[in-house]
Every structure is written in structure tokens, then in C-alpha cells.
Structure 1
Amino acid sequence: MSPRVTVVYHSRGGAMRALAEAAAEGAASFGARVRLRRVADEAAPEAARSWPEAVASPDDVLWADGLVLATPTYFGNVSSPFKRFLESASALWEEAPLADRVVTGMTCATSREGGREATLLTLYQTAYRWGCWALGTEPGDPLFQGVGANPYGLSFTSGPDGRAGEPELTAAWTLGRRLADASARARTDAGAAPAGLGHSRVTVVHCAEDEPIRLLAQECAAGARELGARVRLRPVAGPGVPAESGLPGRTGGAPPAAPVTPQDVAWADAVVFGAPVRSGAVAAPLLGFLQALEPAAGPGPLAGKPAGGFVNAARSHSGGEPALLTLHQVLQHSGALVVPSGGAGPPVSPAGALPTADALAAARQQGRRIALAGDRLRRRTVPGGPRG
């Protein structure tokens, strides 16, 4: 069944509208049913207010399997009309029906360092709260390399005339098509019972020297196994990894689990990463492993795969949320589709304390969710032709 894609844009000078039209055409070329919508803007020039597209509404978000969100950058953030549109979906978020849609972003600014990356990351923070998957650009693709190589989405510096050039339009067309492809696979059997995932492969990478993280990782792996996925539970190599790191609790006497390698990531259809928070960021051993996965050229072992993460903080405001968001950014640099946990926030376990029952249940649910994502994304769809 054809995926449904909604492209929502805000534009005053025409550049973002041109990108949105190109992305809509790219999605349609894949066979998607497409809605092109503009956000309401009473302060826009009369020409912009007379554009024929209907004004976007929460129903357009609910209808879609995939969303292209296109906004100009103002002071390192989305435009205020676009922010009002995002906030209009608050009622949908409260009812939680937006999970597992695929979202990508596009933006432009009039200056080279105008905050375009920050704008795209702000868009994805909203998408994570909705439970959506975040799709960036493809690492190493010469097309995106030629328009700035932004891993988070399409961005460019608009010229004095406020127009997008042919390279940017081609990139937008390609991103819309890629979004449609991911949306088609993400919605496969979305309404069916979660069964038959025996061929889905999940790797759970974690800092095993931290006992709360180790226990959360085991629950995450158990959740994936519940759906029949094959799972590799792998600690990050480093000092302090206990001998019983592959088993629940401090049982002692067990052989050490094999430390994770890039081959474990390449083997998997989906990957989850877990680490404690140190100084507002994920612990250095995990960050070092992730940085080694970022490809110098071409796709790496995470490219095109769903990936997510979990962290554990010592207290409520010790950097858990920014650490998790930073982890998502690193995953996008490696070409992964970020699948958020969908929970309220990172677990908090004071020093020496074990995770709560709610935290363990959330980790198990994250394992189930990443297994489903891996099963859907590994399937291949039949694309249409190239841009004419």
C-alpha cells in the first residue's frame, strides 16, 4: 500500500516553498500519496498568502506515515509561525497516536553560520516527543555533500534573491523520495500483531561497568527477544567491566561477555546504545566507540538502520536529557534513523541504586520497539525512477 507523506512548509520569499514542492515531487515519484501544506502566517507578504496550498492542520500530521518539515531559520531556531503549527499538534501528542512516523527536516538561512543545524535539531526534538523516527541525509552521498553535507537534513544558504538553486532542489527531491521509502517500510504490517521477527537482528551496546545501565541493557535485550529477534548483548571494551557483564545481577563466576566490535553493528538490523551520564554527556567509552563508526567516506555500519539509546543519570537535572539528545546527533552523523524511546525521559538512579521497575519496563519496551523497527526497515520496497 502506498505510503502517505505530508510536506509542511513556511515560506515568505519562496525558497522554502520551492524546496517543499521538490520534496513532494520526490515522494510522489516513489508512489506516495502526498499532501503539500503551508503554515498560517498573517505577517507574510500578500504573494505568499495567496499561494494555493491549503493551510496545514493537525489532521495532516495524523494522516501521514512520513513528514517533511520545512522552515526557514530565524536566530538559530524555527520560525514563529512554524512553531505555532508544531504546538497545534499538542492534543495529538497527549493521545500518543503519532509514534513510528518518519520525519525529516529542511531549512535555509541568509548567512553561512545562521544556526541551520540548531533549527533541524529543534525540529527533531519535537519529533522525538511525538515518538517519530528522525531521518537525516545519507552519509557520503555526493548529492548532499555538494549542498553542505549536513547530516541532520537539507540546509543551504539562500542567495540575495531568496531562491533555491538546482542542486538544492535536486537534493530536496531526493530527500522526499528517501522519506517516502523509509515511510513505506516503517508502516509495513503496522497494524498486525508483532510476530514473525525471527530473522530480525538487534545489537544492544552498553557500558557494562555501570550496573544500572547493565540491567537496563539486559531488559532491552529481553524485550527484543520477546518478539523473536536474535540479539547480541555487547559491552563496550574498557576497564571495570565485570566478569558477569553478560548475566543479570552480580552472580559471579560467569565468563566475560565479548566486547562489542563494529562487526556486531554491521550484523544488526537495529542497534541500541546505553551509557551512564558523565558531565552532561554519555560516558567516554561509548562515545569513543560511536565516533569510530562514523564513516570517513561512504556508508558506515549504521547507515540506513534504526538506532536508539538510553542513558542513566545520577539525579533529575544532571544532564540526562541533553546527553540523550547528543547521542541521537551522533547516530545521525553515522546515517542511522533515530528511533526514540518514546518515554518521558532518562531513568534516574542515584549512585549505588538499581533502576526502578518503571525504568526496567521502559527499557524492555524500547527493545521491543527497536526490534519492530529493525524488522520493518530491513525490508526493501520497489522505488520509482529518477528525477526528470
Structure 2
Amino acid sequence: MSDAYVLVLYYSRHGATRTMARHIARGVEESGMRALLRTVPPISTVCEATASAVPDEGAPYCTEQELADCAGLALGSPTRFGNMAAPLKYFIDSTSSLWLSGALIDKPACVFSSSASMHGGQESTLLSMMLPLLHHGCVIAGLPYSEAGLNATQSGGTPYGATHLAGSDGKRDVDSVELALCTAQGRRLGSLANTLRNS
């Protein structure tokens, strides 16, 4: 493995998106690239609220430099009314300096999400997450139908990116097909990152 890495950046409220991120990272590592798992702090409408420097659990918080230096990016969020969660959008909205410098141009990127219901806005969330990546000049990588799980899934999984159906109580575990699609997405992203980096 080289020093180059794929950044798997996510926000997770109840743990499902974090589980997906870990399996995407596993796929990245299977491709021969290093995976760097990072999250973003929650945000608050109370101006005095501050997040601790280190999260209580899960991955460390992402820095702008870690985003700038990645060879590829996987971006994950739970679905919030058909859009990415506010903490992740807040972080992405703060990356104007990377847009100005072109730091992410030609880097492959993919997206993944989790929602409470089958039609809870998974695909619109994935599409909304692609928009800032396109503005940054990223090369969007979806999930091709050569992945058998896309035709077999009874829950999450789209050609736009891996998804998970958490259930109305948010407690449904990520199933084996959803996990396999996450791993496949990570493997594809890692392979693309390696190819583009060496071209």
C-alpha cells in the first residue's frame, strides 16, 4: 500500500451510516488503497454549544487538509428530508478554499446514505450529495449493475450509491446485501483512485 488514501467521510446519528462507512473502507483497503475514516461534528442552533475536540465514539473529525490531500472521497449521510444531514452539509459548505484551489479536481468520489423508509428520499439524498462534488470537479463513481446485489436487494442499494433501509425506528441492522454493496463501492472507488492517481 502507498501513502495515498481514500477519505471515507460520513455523519451518523444512530450508527447505520457509520457501519456502512466501515464497509466502504474495507472495500477501499481490498483494492490496495489505504482508507481514512473521518466524521464531522454535530451542529447546534445554540451558538454557545461547542463540540469536543475528539468525538466520544467513532472516527476522528475530518480536517480540511485531510480532504485536500485525499486521492478519492466517499461521502455518507443519513437522509434528512431527501437531503444530506446538516452537519455534513455544514462541513462541505466550508470548503470554498478547496474549490478555489482546485484541490479535488479529477479525484473520484462516491456517495452513500441511510433512511428510515424505502421511499424516504435515498436517491435524492445521494444526488444532492453529488452536487457539491461536481462543483469541486470530482469524478462521480456510482455502483454498476454488474454488482448482483443491486438486482437482489429487498432494502437498500442503488446505482447512485450504496444505501440502507433502517426502518421506522432506525434499528434495522445493515443486511448482508447492503454490506456487500458498500464493500463493492469502496473497492471500485479505491481502484479508480489508484488508476487516476497513476495516470
Shorter chain as denominator, the TM-score bin is 0.7 to 0.9
Residue in structure 2 matched with residue 5 of structure 1 by the alignment: 6
Choose which of 137, 159, 168 in structure 1 pairs with 2:143: 137
Of 155, 160, 169, which residue of structure 2 is paired with 1:152?
A: 160
Match for 2:71: what amino acid?
D
TM-score (norm 2): 0.86
What is the alpha-carbon distance in structure 2 between the residues aligned to residue 126 and residue 42 of structure 1?
A: 19
Cα distance, 1:60 vs structure 2 = 1.7
How far apart are residue 141 of structure 1 and its match?
2.2
Q: Is the 8 A contact 2:76 2:113 kept in 1?
A: yes
Give the number of equivalent residue pairs. 186
* Residue pair 1:13, 1:162 contacting (<8 A) in 2 also: no
**Aligned residue for 2:189?**
179
Runs (4+) of structure 1 exceeding 4 A deviation are: none
* Alignment deviations for residues 327-374 of structure 1 (CA, whole Å, 9 cap, x no partner): xxxxxxxxxxxxxxxxxxxxxxxxxxxxxxxxxxxxxxxxxxxxxxxx
* C-alpha contact 1:66 1:101 (8 A) present in aligned 2: yes
Identity of counterpart residues, as a percentage? 31
Alignment partners' CA distance in 2, 1:143 and 1:98: 30
The runs of 5 or more residues in structure 1 that have no matched partner are 44-48, 190-388
Q: 1:25 is aligned with what amino acid?
A: R
Q: Distance in 2 between the 1:52 and 1:149 partners?
A: 24
Aligned equivalent of 2:178: 168
1:22-171 equivalent positions in 2, closer than 5 A? 22-42=23-43, 49-147=55-153, 148-159=156-167, 160=169, 161-171=171-181
Residue matched to 2:50: none
Distance 2:157 2:144 in 1: 9
**Once the two structures are superposed, what CA deviation does each residue of 1:139-198 show, in whole Å capped at 9, x if it has no partner?**
242123233551111112113314312221121111111100011111114xxxxxxxxx
Residue in 2 that maps onto 1:309: none
Per the alignment, residue 51 of structure 2 pairs with none
The CA RMSD over aligned residues, in Å, is: 2.0
Tell me the amino acid that sits aligned with residue 78 of structure 1.
Answer: M
- Bigger Rg, which one: 1
Q: Which secondary structure does the structure 2 equivalent of 1:17 belong to? A: helix
- Structure with larger RCO (C-alpha < 8 A, sep 6+): 2
Q: Distance in 1 between matches of 2:190 and 2:60?
A: 21
1:186 counterpart SS class: helix
TM-score (norm 1): 0.46
Paired AA for residue 80 in structure 1:
A
Residue identity opposite 1:155 in structure 2: T
The 3-state SS of whatever aligns with 2:198 is coil
Distance 1:188 1:143, change over 3 A: same
**Deviation (angstroms), 1:9:** 0.9
Q: Report the alpha carbon displacement of residue 125 of structure 1 after superposing the two structures with TM.
A: 0.9
Change (3 A) 1:155 1:149: closer
Indicate the SS of the match to 2:117.
coil
Q: Which runs of 5+ in 2 are unaligned?
A: 45-54
